[in-house]
Amino acid sequence: MKNVLIAGLGNPGKKYEKTRHNAGFALVDYFWEKFRENFGFSDWEEKKKLRSLVLIGKTENAKIILLKPQTFMNLSGEAVSAALKYYKISCRGETSTDLVVVHDEIDLPLGIFRFSKDSSSAGHKGAQSVIDALGTQNFTRLRIGVDNRLALREERDKLAPTEKYVLGKFSDTEFASLRKTLEEASTELLKHIS
C-alpha cells in the first residue's frame, strides 16, 4: 500500500480564515468533508514534530494523508519535507504522484483550477519553499484560481496589489464560487491519486 500526501498550503490562525491565500487549506478541508465516510478519515490531529495538522484515510490501494502546515505559507517546505520523511514518501525518479501540493494561484481566475507536474513555482512563495526544501520540483501541484481583481477594482484602471489581495478574505459571492471549484477539484484530485 502506497502513501499519498496531499498538502494544502495556507496560513494558520483565525486571522487568515477564508483568505484567498488559504485556498489550499480550503481544498483539503473540503476533500476531507466530501470523502470522510468513504475513506474513514480521522479527525484533524496536531503533529508538533511535523509542524502540521494531519489526518489519515485509506483507499483499497493507498493511505491518504492530508496535511495543513502550521509554519505559515513562506515556510511550508519545512512541514512538507518533514511529513515526506515521516511517512516515507519519495519525490525521486519519474514525476511523483505521491505528493500533491495544493495552493492558491493569482495567475488563474476565480472558479478555475489546474494540475501541473514538475513545474516551477512561478513566483508562489509557498510552492517555492516546498521546492527549496525538497531540492526538486518533481511533484504535482493543484493550483486553485483566486483572481477576481478586475471585478473588484479599487480605483479606475488600478488592480489591488497582489500581496494585499491574496491576504484579503473572500466575499460571500466569491466563497460560493470557490466552493463549487473545490467540489470539482476534489473529484479530479481523487482520480489523480487513485
Active centre residues (catalytic)? 21
Q: Rounded to 5 degrees, what are φ and ψ at 2?
A: -90, 160
Specify whether the CB–CB gap between 50 and 79 falls below 8 A.
yes
Angle at which helix 23-39 crosses helix 172-193, to 10 degrees, equals 50
According to DSSP H, which parts of 10-159 are helical?
A: 23-39, 76-86, 125-134
Burial class (CB in 10 A: 0-12, 13-18, 19+), 26: buried
Strand positions, DSSP E, 36-139 = 45-47, 52-58, 62-69, 99-109, 113-117
Measured CA to CA, the distance from residue 131 to residue 96 in angstroms comes to 13
According to DSSP H, which parts of 58-106 are helical?
A: 76-86
Cβ–Cβ contacts within 10 Å for residue 123, how many? 10
